[in-house]
Amino acid sequence: MTFPIQISEEAGVRYLHFGSDWIQGAMRIARPWALELDYTREMMACLLLRPDAAWPRRVLLIGLGAASLVKFLYRHRPQARLTVVEIAPEVVMAARQYFKLPDDPARVRIDIADGVDWVSGSDARFDLILVDGFDAEARAGGLDTLPFYGACRARLSKAGLLSVNLLGRNRGFRASVGRIRAAFDERALVFPSCNDGNAIAFAAVGEPVDLPLSELNAHAAALRKSTGLNLLPTLARLTQRQAFPGGRLKL
């Protein structure tokens, strides 16, 4: 598969496009390690659900884009070994040339492959799987199917988490959430859509997630101090929308 790569810049931010106006990734040129887009920040809320600083150790990323998630984890979770599966070699080339993808084979492995085929054919285990793969028309294809989510579950470690970028304004959104819930025996939750219309779904295996809001806020404050990532507004938005029954986040 090939993608017609386009790069644009506006107000100090560099954007990645696949031959359309749809934004596939972004980087603030003055802060290349920061997470520029709302949805990428919310995908990293997984670090609040498993707040151990030594977690995760093995991460699988399906879809590279502008390498935002790779760079963030590479910088702020030095113990993590990152495997990236990207279907289009042009995307990898653009990430290296324009978005400062780290060149460190000891910690960042890049496989050019179809994410569905790679996951179903692998026997590796990961603490965290991040899925953010769309084509030029914002279609996830096989990355949004029950067999794929089931294969992701099989690849997770005993305290593993799945984080998936969904399009909250897509008419198929509810069906996508239903597939994730079915694959993980209902151990899934979805954050309400952020400003850009994306909604992040999380699913878990193994050790339960059961955290009071006060503890989540404390973890978010610590994460902001150590990485610059501010998830306190996300928690405030979730609280306003009554996303924490009984004042606890359970997964």
Q: Is 132 a catalytic residue?
A: yes
Please write the tens of the pLDDT for every residue from 68-120: 999 999 999 999 999 999 999 999 999 999 999 999 999 999 999 999 999 99
Compute the distance between CA of residue 219 and CA of residue 48 in angstroms, rounded to an integer.
6
Looking at the domain assignment, is residue 229 inside a domain? no
Could you tell me which residues come within 8 angstroms of residue 187 by beta carbon, excluding any fewer than 6 positions away? Answer: 203, 204, 205, 251
Mean pLDDT computed over every residue of the chain = 92
Could you tell me which residues come within 8 angstroms of residue 240 by beta carbon, excluding any fewer than 6 positions away? Answer: none
Output the domain CATH number for residue 34: 3.40.50.150
Q: Is the pLDDT of residue 67 over 90?
A: yes
Indicate the helix (H) or strand (E) that contains 68: helix 68-76
Q: Is the pLDDT of residue 246 over 80?
A: yes
Looking at the domain assignment, is residue 231 inside a domain? no
What is the DSSP-derived secondary structure letter of residue 63? -
Looking at the domain assignment, is residue 224 inside a domain? no
Show the domain range for 157: 5-208
Looking at the domain assignment, is residue 220 inside a domain? no
Looking at the domain assignment, is residue 245 inside a domain? no
Catalytic option among 103, 111, 127, 132: 132
Per-residue pLDDT at 197: 75
Please write the tens of the pLDDT for every residue from 145-157: 999 999 999 999 9
Looking at the domain assignment, is residue 157 inside a domain? yes
The answer to whether the peptide bond before residue 51 is cis (omega within 30 degrees of 0) is no
The domain total for the chain is 1
Q: Given 3-state DSSP classes, what are the helix, strand and coil percentages for the chain, each rounded to the nearest 5?
A: 35, 25, 40
Looking at the domain assignment, is residue 203 inside a domain? yes
Looking at the domain assignment, is residue 48 inside a domain? yes
